[in-house]
Amino acid sequence: MSNDYLQTHPGFLEAQAKSVGIEPQSHFGCNAQVCIDVQGTGLKVNQWNTTANANVGCSQAKYVRNSNQVFESAPICPPNDNPGVYYYTNPETTYPQNTKLCNAWTRITGYPCATVHR
């Protein structure tokens, strides 16, 4: 989504961050320009989302589980040269205890992680 979208919807990112509190044991955190948003209860993850705030042209979301990349999105390209927010989500899954989930984006700085636990 673009900065234009965020300007016309000023509460969007705050609402996303607050929605994490709806379910116990969910996690939202950022490292540099990349954020991870894991929503779920116990070992069940309902959503594993990632965002990045930058504009480096086309980029791809990388999903890493226990240091192994398990998914890479198709290229996501901003509509113009303005800074914007890249966004991608992964479907629900149940993970073993202490599974470490991390996200990265090509050409964007940051590597946030969350650990799945009961």
pLDDT, one tens digit per residue, over 57-110 is 999 999 999 999 999 999 998 888 777 788 898 888 999 999 999 999 999 999
pLDDT at 23: 39
**Which of 52, 45, 47, 118 lies closest to 61, judged by CA?**
52
- The one-letter amino acid code at 25 reads Q
pLDDT at 73: 94
**Does position 1 have pLDDT exceeding 60, yes or no?**
no
Separation between Cα atoms, residue 109 and residue 32, nearest integer Å: 6
> 2-55, pLDDT tens digit by residue?
555 555 556 555 555 444 433 346 899 999 999 999 999 889 999 999 999 998
CB contact set of 24 (below 8 Å; sequence gap of 6+): 41
pLDDT at 9: 53
pLDDT at 67: 96
Separation between Cα atoms, residue 32 and residue 108, nearest integer Å: 9
- Let me know the angle formed at the C-alpha of 7 by 3 and 12, rounded to the nearest 5 degrees: 90
pLDDT at 62: 96
pLDDT at 7: 57
